[in-house]
A and B are shown apart, each in its own frame.
Chain A
Amino acid sequence: MSDPEQRNASRFTQTNLVRKKLFCEKIAQFVIFLMTMAMVLPLLLIVGYLIYKASPALSLDFLFDLPRRGMRDGGIWPALLGTVYLVVVSLIIAAPIGVLAAVYLNEYAKENWFTRIINLAVINLAGVPSIVHALFGLGAFVLFAGIGRSILAASLTLAVMTLPVIIASTKEALSAVPMAFREACWNMGVSRWKTIRSVVLPNSISGILTGIILQVSRAAGETAPIMFTGAVFYKAIEKGDVFAYGLLDQCMALAMHLFTISTQVPNVDEAIPFATAVVLLGTVLVVNAAAIVLRIIIRTHKKW
C-alpha cells in the first residue's frame, strides 16, 4: 500500500462515529482487563499474606510434631496423617467406580433418555451441597450401615462426593481416543470389553490420572462431609507413627483441624492456624499443579 492511499484511508475512517467506537473499544478492553486482574490478584495477595503470617510457625518440625497444650503449640502430624488416610481410602473406593461409570457412559450407553438421566444425575451429584453429603454420610454409612464414625465412613462419604470429578475427566479422556482405534480392534474380532481394556484405557490413562489427581485435591480440602462421619477434634497418636489409624478408627484431618483451631480453641498463637492453612492450601495447590502439568504433557505428546 502506498503512502497517500493510507492517508486517504485514515481520513476516511476518522469520522466522529469511528472515533467514538474506537474510544469505547479502548475503555471496554481496559475495564475487562481490570476485571480479570481483580480475580488473579486476590489469589496472589492471599497466598502471599498467608505465607507471611504463617512464617513464624512454618518448619519441617511443624509437619511432623504432635499438637500440644490443647492445640496451642506443636505441630499437625495427626491431622496430616488423617488427611492422607481419608484421601487414600476414598480414592480406592471412588476411582474404580468413577472410571467404570465413565466407561459405561462413553463406550456402552446409547443416546437415549436413560443416558440423559445418568448425565443429569452426575451433574446434580456434583451440585449437592457438601453439608447435605455430610447428612447422607451420617444417615447411610454411620447409622444405617452401622460402620460408626470412622475413617471408612468418612472416606465413603468423600468418595460419593468426589465421584463426579473422576467421571467427568475420565469421560473426556475416553472420548479423545479416536473411533478408528476401536474399529480396528473390533475388526480383528476382539470383544467390546477386551477392546476397552487393551486399546481404549491404555490410550487414555494420562487423562484418567488427571481426574484422579483432581479427586485427591478435592477430597483433601473438604471439611463438612467428614465433620460428622469420622473426623474428630483431637486424637492422640505417636509422633511419626505412620500406621497410627485403623480403618474403623476416628481420625484428625487437616481441613477439620484448621476449622477447629481457628474457631473453637481460644488463645491460639496466631501463626499456628495460618501455618495450618498454608500447609492445606499448599498441598491442594501442588496436587492441582501436578494435574495441570500432566495435562500439558499429554497435549504436547499426543500420538494421534
Chain B
Amino acid sequence: MEKVIEFVIRLCGISAVIFVFAIFGFVFWEGKGLLLGGEFDFWKFLTTKEWYPASESNPRFGVLALITGTASVTVLAMVIAVPFGLGAAIFISEFCGPRLREGLKITIELLAAIPSVVWGFIGLTIMNELIMKLFDAPIGLNVLNGAIILALMSVPIIVSISEDALKAVPDSYREAATGLGVTRWQMVYRVLLPAAKNGLLAAVLLGIGRAVGETMAVLMATGHAVNIPFDSEFPFFHTLDSVRTLTATIAAELGETARGSEHYQILFVVGILLFSITFAVNLTADLVVKGIKDK
C-alpha cells in the first residue's frame, strides 16, 4: 500500500515536467504538418510583414508585424513598469513601517489578481476614452493603451520579486552603511541596489515574460491592426498606432479556422514561437536567480 502511494506521489511530482513537455509536444504536433512540410520557410516567416493567412489565392504568413507589435507593447510597458515597480519595492522594503507595508503588499496582491479580461475591458472603455481626450487621438486603442494596461498587470510581479531580492540582502550590509552615516536613500542607491541587482534583473525578466504572454488584455486594448509602429519619420516610435500581438492573433483567429488547414497550423507555429520566447525568458530569470544563490 505504502509503495503504491509513494508511486502516485512521485508521479504527481514529475507531473509539471510531463505537462511542460506535453504542451510543447501537442502544440508542435498540430503545427508540424506545415512546419515540416518542406515548403515552409522559417526565416521568411520571421522576417516578412505580410500576414494574410486567410487569403484564398495567395496566403502569406509573415509575423514580423506581429512580433514588433508584441515587442513595442512589451518594451513600452516595461519602460513604465520597471521604474514604478522598483520604486514601490524600495519603498515597501526600506522606507515604510510594518503596518503600511502589510497594507501595500495586500493591495499589490489584489492588483495581481484582477483577471486579464477585466484589464482588457478597462483598456477598451476607460483608457480608450482617456487617451482619445488627452492626446486628441482618433482612436484610443493603441500601443500606449496596451502598454499602460500591461504595465499595471506586470507591476505586481516586479514588485514582489524585487522586494524579495532586497530583503535577501544581509542586514550586515545595512548596518555597515548606517555606521558610515549615510542616509537611507544613499544606502539604497549605493549598497542595496548593487547587491540585489541579479534579483532585480530576474524581476524585470519575469515582468517581460508576463507581458509577452498576456492575451486578452492586449487583444482588447491594442486596436488589433497588423501594423509596425516604427518608421523613419519623427518620433520613429508611434505609440498612438494600433498594433496586433502574437498572442492576440491566435486568440482572434483560431476560432475561424478549420482543423488541419494551413491557417490553423500557422497559428500553432506562432504558439510554438511564443512558447519558446517565454521559455527562454523564464529560464534566464531562473538562472540569474540561481546565480546569486550559488555565490
Contact of A104 among B13, B19, B20 (CB under 8 A): B13
Chain B window 91-121, contacts with chain A (Cβ cutoff 8 Å), 1 for yes, 0 for no: 1100100000000101111110111111011
Q: How far is the CA of A32 from the CA of B85 in the complex (A)?
A: 10
The CA of A11 and the CA of B25, in the complex, are separated in Å by: 72
Check B13 against A118 for contact (C-beta < 8 Å): yes
Please, which residues of chain B bring their CB within 8 A of the CB of A25? 183-186
Q: List 26 A-B contacts (CB under 8 A).
A: A28-B189, A36-B87, A101-B12, A101-B13, A101-B16, A103-B13, A118-B14, A121-B19, A122-B16, A124-B278, A124-B283, A127-B282, A128-B213, A131-B251, A134-B251, A134-B254, A164-B16, A221-B117, A223-B115, A227-B255, A228-B255, A256-B117, A258-B121, A259-B120, A288-B109, A292-B106
B29 CB-CB contact with A under 8 Å: yes
| B positions within 8 Å CB-CB of A | 2, 5-6, 8-10, 12-17, 19-20, 22-23, 26-27, 29-30, 83-84, 87-88, 90-92, 95, 104, 106-111, 113-118, 120-122, 124-126, 152, 155, 159, 182-186, 188-189, 206, 209-210, 212-216, 220, 247, 250-251, 254-255, 259, 267-268, 271, 274-275, 278-279, 281-283, 286
**Assembly CA distance A29 to B96 (angstroms):** 10
The residues of A that contact B186 with a CB separation of less than 8 Å are 21, 24-25
Please tell me if the beta carbons of A259 and B220 are within 8 angstroms of each other in the complex. yes
Contact yes or no, B118 A36, CB < 8 A = no
Stretch of A1-9, A173-181, A273-281 with 4 or more beta carbons under 8 angstroms from chain B? A273-281
Contacting residues, chain B, for A40 (C-beta < 8 A): 104, 107
Q: Is A284 an interface residue (CB 8 A)?
A: yes
- Given A122-B16, A130-B215, A140-B22, A108 contacting B109 (CB threshold 8 A): no
Please pick, from A38, A108, A127, A256, the residue contacting B278 in the complex, using a CB distance under 8 A. A127
Specify which of B5, B12, B83, B152 lies most central, judged by the most chain A CB atoms within 10 Å of its CB.
B12
Bound CA–CA A160/B23 (angstroms)? 10
> Is there contact, CB below 8 Å, between B6 and A108?
yes
Residues of A with Cβ closer than 8 Å to B?
21-22, 24-25, 28-29, 31-33, 35-36, 38-40, 42-43, 46, 49-50, 53, 96-98, 100-101, 103-105, 108-109, 117-118, 120-125, 127-136, 138-140, 143-144, 160, 163-164, 167, 191-194, 217, 220-224, 227-228, 255-256, 258-259, 262-263, 273-274, 277, 280-281, 284-285, 288-289, 292
User: Are A39 and B88 touching (Cβ within 8 A)?
Assistant: yes
Query: How many A-B pairs with Cβ below 8 Å?
Result: 256
Q: Tell whether, in the assembled complex, residue B10 and residue A104 are in contact, meaning their CB atoms are under 8 Å apart.
A: yes
Complex Cα spacing A213 to B119, Å? 21
Query: Which residues of chain A have C-beta atoms less than 8 A from B84's C-beta?
Result: 35, 38-39
